[in-house]
Structure 1
Amino acid sequence: MTAEDEQQARLMLGLLELSALNADETEGRVAALCERALTPLGNVAAVCVPLRFTLLARVTLDRLGARDVRVVSVANFPYGGSPIEPVVSQVQAALVAGADEIDMVYPFRALLSGDSRTGFEMIMACKQCCPDQKKLVVTLETGDLRDPQLIRQACQGAIMAGADFIKTSTGKTAINATPQAMRIMIEAIAEVGGMTGIKAAGGIRTFDEALVYLKMTQTRFGNAWVTSEHVRLSASSLLGDVLIALGMLPSSGY
């Protein structure tokens, strides 16, 4: 590994967002995920969990002395339905449970049918629930939107409605993060002066795969912009590869 690659791997570690979002997750798995978030080389940026495990994740991380690791709670996950009130209720409950960020799945099927208003109103309603220090992430499900113009429209609408981050995908569909979608999202963010963050998620498993997305943000916005306040790599399996790259683990994994 070159000195530059090592520097990028160390940066990646602090941008990572670990998730436990399968239907069969247990308290034990979520607690273990929180423990994995703390490494000898520093903590990851966040853990992402369902509403029912939000309090457990926050309490576990606090007990481990990792208050800096954010807890992200998903809403409207994973299907991105159109009714707004149930999503708002999920957001409110997650904030009460201690979530630092809300990851709301955009109603992408509505947009596919020509309805962009529902997505805009849902984001605005969820954003209004969030105090200033709480972040709202909007997962666009770009693999299902597919059409570059639809992806751009979703990005622009989400940013206008108040999203603090836009995210590629839930990781639950056939097509997840792609460089093409990431490029469209980056340009939409650049149009508003880099005021919105970006998350790459879904199918990113290796250091080399993650490096593609990391370099895209660095090239467009500069190295100083690339912090966990602006960029996340939502990929639990990536942690092991990053630690292997940094010589902290044997190649058998983490």
Structure 2
Amino acid sequence: MDFTSLNQDDDESAITQLCHDSRIELDSGDLLNVAALCVYPRWVSLAKQLRPDNQTRIATVANFPAGDAKPATVMHEVSAALEAGADEIDLVIPYRAVMAGQWWLAAALVKSVRRLNEACVLKVIIESGELQDVSLVRTASQLALDEGADFIKTSTGKVAVNATLEAAKVMLECIRDHGNVAGFKAAGGIRTMAEASDYYELVKQTLGADALTAKRFRLGASSLRQSLLQQMHTDGVLNDTQGAVTQTGEY
């Protein structure tokens, strides 16, 4: 999972809590680390400071959420995020350009961001709920993969329709047909462990069990984060201190 906090009212306390939640201490004493923390660019530096152990990557968003910023603005945004320490970029493609048949504009932006830093993990958000048409979902997925995306991601979580199993199936088929090396991230509207399990099974069926790793499959949803921690607490596998942050923000 990518633990995510992308709220306009996020503050230092919210990011500190997010970082604390991402280091899950089991009742056995073992520690679990989530794949990444996804925050707005202005919080990358703080998140990096709070999680300096490199066990959890720091992700941020670009061209988010509307996908309509000027290319120069996006490039500046990405450059600044990388300089602040971001390990991963979740880039919203200009999905309206895809809808208008101008897919090359979306391809050009993905290509430019990819060239900016080859080492950074690039997750391209296609906003499948806005594209709606299966053929557009396929076009957006294919162009993102062609231009070097490490992951293709369903949604921003900021629109009416976010992740759906129908769109996920098309995206996963594109990954499979593109060499089955890229990753898939389902995000937006996934609220329960049962819903998360549906995506897990779909990835397993389409890409194979080898794809069920943090390098190939991610789930991102703020609601799912709370559901997971609550379920683990109910099952009695969490340390009693999990979820509690001191007044100094230390954990």
| TM-score normalised per structure 1 | 0.88
Letter in structure 1 aligned against 2:108: E
1:45 and 2:35 correspond: yes
**Quick one: which of 47, 51, 68 aligns to 1:57?**
47
Equivalence for 1:83: 70
Equivalence for 1:96: 83
Q: Could you tell me how far apart the structure 1 residues matched to 2:208 and 2:231 are? A: 24
Letter in structure 2 aligned against 1:43: N
Equivalence for 1:176: 162
8 A Cα contact 1:71 1:100, kept in partner: yes
Letter in structure 2 aligned against 1:118: L
Q: Could you tell me how far apart the structure 2 residues matched to 1:145 and 1:221 are? A: 23
SS in 1 for 2:181: coil
**Quick one: which of 99, 113, 120 aligns to 1:112?**
99
Equivalence for 1:237: 223
SS in 2 for 1:73: strand
Q: Deviations over 1:2-60 (max 9, x none)?
A: xxxxxxxxxxxxxx111111111111111110111011241111110111111111111
Q: Could you tell me how far apart the structure 2 residues matched to 1:130 and 1:181 are? A: 28
1:74 and 2:74 correspond: no
Q: Could you tell me how far apart the structure 2 residues matched to 1:54 and 1:245 are? A: 28
Q: Could you tell me how far apart the structure 2 residues matched to 1:243 and 1:86 are? A: 37
Across the two proteins, how many residue pairs are aligned to each other? 233
8 A Cα contact 1:152 1:185, kept in partner: yes
Cα distance, 1:187 vs structure 2: 0.2
Letter in structure 2 aligned against 1:56: L
8 A Cα contact 1:82 1:110, kept in partner: no
Q: Could you tell me how far apart the structure 1 residues matched to 2:84 and 2:225 are? A: 26
Q: Could you tell me how far apart the structure 2 residues matched to 1:30 and 1:213 are? A: 27
Q: Could you tell me how far apart the structure 1 residues matched to 2:223 and 2:35 are? A: 15
Cα distance, 1:240 vs structure 2: 3.4
1:20 and 2:18 correspond: no
Cα distance, 1:244 vs structure 2: 4.2
Equivalence for 1:126: 113
Q: Could you tell me how far apart the structure 1 residues matched to 2:138 and 2:222 are? A: 27
Cα distance, 1:94 vs structure 2: 0.6
Q: Which runs of 4+ in 1 moved over 4 A?
A: none
Q: Could you tell me how far apart the structure 1 residues matched to 2:207 and 2:80 are? A: 35
1:196 and 2:182 correspond: yes
Letter in structure 2 aligned against 1:30: I
| TM-score normalised per structure 2 | 0.89
Equivalence for 1:151: 137
1:212-251 counterparts in 2 under 5 A?
Answer: 212-246=198-232, 247=235, 248=237
Instruction: Give the percent of matched residue pairs that are identical in Structure 1 and Structure 2.
Output: 40
Cα distance, 1:245 vs structure 2: 4.0
Q: Deviations over 1:68-106 (max 9, x none)?
A: 101001100010015211111111111100000011111
Letter in structure 2 aligned against 1:50: Y
Q: Which moved more, 1:169-178 or 1:16-25?
A: 16-25
Equivalence for 2:121: 135
CA shift in 2, pair 1:32/1:245, >3 Å: closer
Q: Could you tell me how far apart the structure 1 residues matched to 2:231 and 2:49 are? A: 31
SS in 2 for 1:119: helix
Q: Could you tell me how far apart the structure 1 residues matched to 2:167 and 2:83 are? A: 33
Letter in structure 2 aligned against 1:87: V
Q: Which moved more, 1:149-158 or 1:35-44?
A: 35-44
8 A Cα contact 1:130 1:136, kept in partner: no
Equivalence for 1:4: none
Cα distance, 1:238 vs structure 2: 1.5
Where in structure 2 are there 5+ consecutive unaligned residues? 27-31, 244-251
Where in structure 1 are there 5+ consecutive unaligned residues? 1-15
